[in-house]
Structure 1
Amino acid sequence: MSFSAKDILQMQVAPALGCTEPVAVALGAAAAASLLPDRTIDSIDSIEILLDPNIYKNGLAVIIPGTHGMIGLDTASILGALGGDPALGLEVLADIDDDTVAGAKTFLEHKGVTVNLREESGLYVHTTIKSAEVIAESVIVRRHNNIVELRLNGIIQKGSPLLKELNDGTTVSRHQQLEDWLKQRRLEDLVALIEGLDAEDLQFIEEGIQCNLKLAAYGLKYGTGLGIGKALERMLKQKLLTRDMSMTAKILTSAAADARMGGARLPAMSSAGSGNHGLTATLPIWAIKDFIDHDHETVLRAVGLSHIVTAYVKAHIGTLSAVCGCSVAAGAGAAAGITYLIGGDAGHMAGAIKNISEDLTGIICDGAKAGCAIKLNTAAGAAVQAALFSLQGISVQDTDGIIGDGPESTVRNMGIISTEGMVATDKTIIKIMREKQQLKAGKS
């Protein structure tokens, strides 16, 4: 089994409206609700969702687009049930309106959504909706949009088009095959893949960049979320900072995260299952292009390489974990892409990946929220720095800590830290977040 750059882009890069964890919850509810004879607020008696720890962690505090500031997994679930279109996948909430939002508020006030935490790790969303004598269920596993089961009154629904990815008997196993295949590749193999990008692929990459640039423009204009990007621009005007490659990358990337985490109703072109990964994998590369000589196609190929390297690192560290994937996965992708754009070879890219791994491995993921913009700001700047250091002949030595004798062994070590070493860390993060939720509920 072999994969091309086109295969990786098709399976790993897709538009997503809102943070992908609450979106997965909304998608699960919309899929289950599609089985009901009636999806109105009066007809739905109860909704119960069972989630893995990391879906739970990433869905607690992020604003859901189109809701005027509403947050929460319960909110995502009822919005999906009342007005989500499951056929739209990760853009399931694209068509919700103010009436849907008002209905969701009413449901949450009078009925509520029961949120339960599953002890096992691994992406999992099980939604149960009860309506009169009807019980509808959906199950999502492994990937945010991978609906593997629909049940109506306990009977498996095999004919739903929402299950086409499973029914054809190839997609789930194909994604696993891709991850396994990526883990066996050397960096040189990944770099070679971008030579196979055709005009269709380059157009798709261009569309993704423009999608993410719209978020950055929104963040810079309105200062939503924490307003990191807008604040950096303000500090430039105050001559507190200087505009260079690193600062430009920070501004563009953090502004996009401000918009996305602040609830802007604009999709992000995601990478490896995350919209914020997509922002980090693309925007730092675009940001530095005006500082160097290049042709436009090379910029697009650099972004394509970034997506591929991001997928490669994610295959090792896992879809969701205690490690900030924007820092170590998309950050590594961006570092490789920046190095390629400036003219570096695979050896320079290897050094850049080792540099950013030494710099950012260990940054925890404590859920999706406005504060992610600070982490994307850090990742974008570190990606530029890692690339420039490597191009100057500076690469972290393989005698240092977790750094291996090449990017492959370094990434494998990061995967071990993520999947084995930080299991207790993840549980502690979730424990702290749940205690905060319980304290907040007690005060209300």
Structure 2
Amino acid sequence: MPASHAAPFCTDVRDRAFCEVLNEELVCALGCTEPIAVAYAAALARATLGAEPESLEVGCSGNIIKNVKSVTVPNSGGMHGIEAAATLGAVGGDAGSALEVLESVTEPDIERTRALLSDPAFCAVSLVEGVPNLYIKVRAHAAGHVAEVVIAEHHTDVVYRALDDAVLEGAREQDPALHADEPNPAYELLTIDAIIGFAEDGDIEPARAALERQIELNDAISREGLAHAWGAEVGRTLMESREHDAPCRARARAAAGSDARMSGCALPVVIVCGSGNQGITACLPVMEYAEGLGADHERLVRAVALSDLVAAHVKGYIGALSAFCGVVCAACGAGAAITWLAGGTPEQVGATIVNTLGNVGGIVCDGAKPSCAAKISAAVDAAILGHEMAMAGRGFRAGEGLIQETVEKTIASMGYVGRVGMKPTDVEILNIMIGKTRV
């Protein structure tokens, strides 16, 4: 969890730290990151085993099960679920490509996957409790040998890997289920004022390539979502209804990227906070407003950097995967960047974030699926309202609900609710989704 007050630091230290955060966050991914992480673990298990598995065992945290259940696995020919993601990863995945593990999958790989999945005993999936919210264990069996891979905390963090009795990564005596990374000190420097200062005059060159790639790739999948009938077509619906309205276009552009991504589009995206939907939400509305305001490309790149860093700062209090919909964090970033592009003061940027959290903080996450596009639209709409209120000198006040005296305290209070208060909500959502609780 980030510190609410960072110690004073020089701008060189700030710039290096913030570029480090951006380069760590802005990773390419093909498809929804949870099924892709399952596929990556399975591909790595197959590579460790050295042969196609004869069977797979996949144990996942509730949040992984929740986020894989209803989303289309990319390059799978329309298959869904953990079994499909794991089997396709083991059959045709390239473990060296991490979150782009399924990019090289071929039609024969898809057919082989379908054939293996026709045997219900090939891939056994189980819920693992008492582990981090993001947790995947894959055991691959072949010819009397077994390879085991565990990913925890972050989508590509391999905390344990073994072949039979040989431990290749991690340590057998340290329970990998309880593994927790040391926090990256660069994130401790994130505050709204520091982020604004970095956007204004920081040295962004070490992160420029990642930011340019985010703009290019996320723009491409948004255009694909608007051009073709993906998912529930939330973006197309918005664009058809009010395409000349700037706020509506901003919502449509972000939603369209999610429409395509949640329904198996094979175009890659650049993620933020471990999520492609958040990477899209932090980027596309900012691009739309930058164009409308006549901002040059350099100012656009800096605005996207501001958006990404605000999203990472807000999400840092919540942690990976929870019942708190992460696109709200990304929408806070987008709204803050739009206010900055419009010439807003640091106080107005902060007020935009507070206004957004005071409105839609607490939208529940009930898994990755086509309706994520609608949640993105709602979150971006709240961020734009928050921006317009802030520019007019209006906003929600301390003592109203979770709103605190400062933007930093408000972020922390909302983060506490998402991290701690919504844990029971997360459990009940999962119980309903897997049929354990009937309503």
Letter in 2 for 1:234: E
Aligned residue number for residue 349 of structure 2: 349
1:26 Cα offset (Å): 0.5
Letter in 1 for 2:357: S
User: Given the two structures, how large is their TM-score scaled by the length of structure 1?
Assistant: 0.89
Q: Does residue 83 in structure 1 map to residue 82 in structure 2?
A: no
1:436 Cα offset (Å): 8.2
Cα 1:436/1:342, change in 2 over 3 Å: farther
Aligned residue number for residue 427 of structure 2: 427
Deviation track 1:179-215 (CA, whole Å, cap 9, x = no partner) reads 4x15xx4321222233323345334312211100111
- The answer to which of 226-235 and 425-434 deviates more is 226-235
1:437 Cα offset (Å): 11
Letter in 2 for 1:292: L
Alignment of 1:276-355 (within 5 A): 276-327=277-328, 329-355=329-355
> 1:25, 1:73 within 8 Å by CA — same for their partners in 2?
yes
Q: Distance in 2 between matches of 1:438 and 1:146?
A: 35
Q: Does residue 177 in structure 1 map to residue 179 in structure 2?
A: no
Q: Distance in 2 between matches of 1:230 and 1:59?
A: 25
Alignment of 1:337-416 (within 5 A): 337-416=337-416
Q: Distance in 1 between matches of 2:311 and 2:82?
A: 27
Aligned residue number for residue 122 of structure 2: 112
Partner SS, residue 431 of structure 2 = helix
Cα 1:199/1:410, change in 2 over 3 Å: same
Letter in 2 for 1:124: Y
Letter in 2 for 1:109: S
Partner SS, residue 271 of structure 1 = coil
Q: Distance in 2 between matches of 1:256 and 1:176?
A: 30
Q: Distance in 2 between matches of 1:202 and 1:176?
A: 21
> 1:246, 1:385 within 8 Å by CA — same for their partners in 2?
no
Partner SS, residue 317 of structure 1 = coil
Aligned residue number for residue 71 of structure 1: 80
Alignment of 1:233-244 (within 5 A): 233-235=239-241, 241=242, 243-244=244-245
Q: Distance in 1 between matches of 2:279 and 2:150?
A: 25
Q: Does residue 196 in structure 1 map to residue 202 in structure 2?
A: yes
Q: 1:134 aligns with which of 145, 158, 165?
A: 145
User: Given the two structures, how large is their TM-score scaled by the length of structure 2?
Assistant: 0.90
1:119 Cα offset (Å): 1.4
Partner SS, residue 157 of structure 1 = strand
1:242 Cα offset (Å): 5.9
Partner SS, residue 270 of structure 2 = strand
Aligned residue number for residue 230 of structure 1: 236
1:291 Cα offset (Å): 2.2
Alignment coverage as a number of residue pairs: 415
Letter in 2 for 1:250: R
1:289 Cα offset (Å): 1.9
Q: Does residue 147 in structure 1 map to residue 158 in structure 2?
A: yes
> 2:18, 2:186 within 8 Å by CA — same for their partners in 1?
no
Q: 2:168 aligns with which of 157, 176, 201?
A: 157
1:335 Cα offset (Å): 1.1
Q: Distance in 1 between matches of 2:253 and 2:108?
A: 34
Q: Distance in 1 between matches of 2:243 and 2:257?
A: 20
Q: Distance in 2 between matches of 1:310 and 1:230?
A: 26
Aligned residue number for residue 264 of structure 1: 265
Q: Distance in 2 between matches of 1:335 and 1:210?
A: 20
Cα 1:436/1:353, change in 2 over 3 Å: same
Q: 2:70 aligns with which of 56, 61, 69?
A: 61
> 1:402, 1:414 within 8 Å by CA — same for their partners in 2?
yes
Letter in 2 for 1:104: T
Aligned residue number for residue 220 of structure 1: 226
Q: Does residue 52 in structure 1 map to residue 61 in structure 2?
A: yes
Letter in 2 for 1:156: V
Partner SS, residue 321 of structure 2 = coil
1:46 Cα offset (Å): 1.3
Deviation track 1:9-60 (CA, whole Å, cap 9, x = no partner) reads 1111111101001111111111111012322xxxx22111111111111111
Misfit runs of 4+, over 4 Å: 436-439
Q: Distance in 1 between matches of 2:437 and 2:29?
A: 27
Cα 1:304/1:147, change in 2 over 3 Å: same
Cα 1:359/1:438, change in 2 over 3 Å: closer
Unaligned runs of 5+ in 1: 160-170, 236-240, 440-444
- The answer to which of 262-271 and 110-119 deviates more is 110-119
CA RMSD of aligned residues (A): 2.1
Q: Distance in 1 between matches of 2:238 and 2:43?
A: 39
1:330 Cα offset (Å): 0.4
Letter in 2 for 1:141: A
Aligned residue number for residue 12 of structure 1: 25
Aligned residue number for residue 191 of structure 2: 186
Q: Does residue 31 in structure 1 map to residue 44 in structure 2?
A: yes
Partner SS, residue 141 of structure 2 = strand
> 2:41, 2:136 within 8 Å by CA — same for their partners in 1?
yes
Deviation track 1:204-229 (CA, whole Å, cap 9, x = no partner) reads 31221110011111111112111111
Letter in 1 for 2:290: K
